Amino acid sequence: MEEKSIFEKIRDGEIPAQMVYEDEHCMCFRDIQPQAPVHALLVPKQRINRIGVAESTDATVLGHMMTKVAEITKTLGIDESGFRLVVNNGRDGGETVPHLHIHILGGRKLEWPPG
């Protein structure tokens, strides 16, 4: 069996996390190494390794996650100031955890283009 990802361990309560939002399909918790004043990760509970391997059967949970962004960013206090969603994929994309996650970044003016 494939080893559990860090985020599956958080899901199963084996690693603590500062949870911001949770329902049966997804969870959102604060990043352990924040890159902005507000930095949270929105993660499907059922593992999808990365966006580049998502299939049509993942459409419901991925759509669900996107519709939760409004509520989560309100909870984080960045719904009005603005925020950025980032999904890193593969080596060049900067992915380090092989369990799909959407970075939610805000709390300061973010640069564009990113590094």
Q: Kindly tell me the burial class for residue 13, based on how many C-beta atoms sit within 10 Å of its own C-beta (0-12, 13-18, 19 or more).
A: exposed
Distance CA 13, CA 61 (A): 21
One of 31, 54, 64, 85 touching ligand 5GP (CB under 6 A): 31
Q: Which is nearer to ligand 5GP, 56 or 113 (CB)?
A: 113
One of 19, 22, 32, 77 touching ligand 5GP (CB under 6 A): 32
Q: Kindly tell me the burial class for residue 27, based on how many C-beta atoms sit within 10 Å of its own C-beta (0-12, 13-18, 19 or more).
A: buried
Draw the binding track, 56-95, toward ligand 5GP (x: CB under 6 A; -: no contact). --------------------------------x-----xx
Interface residue list for ligand 5GP (CB under 6 A): 6, 15, 17, 29, 31-33, 41, 88, 94-97
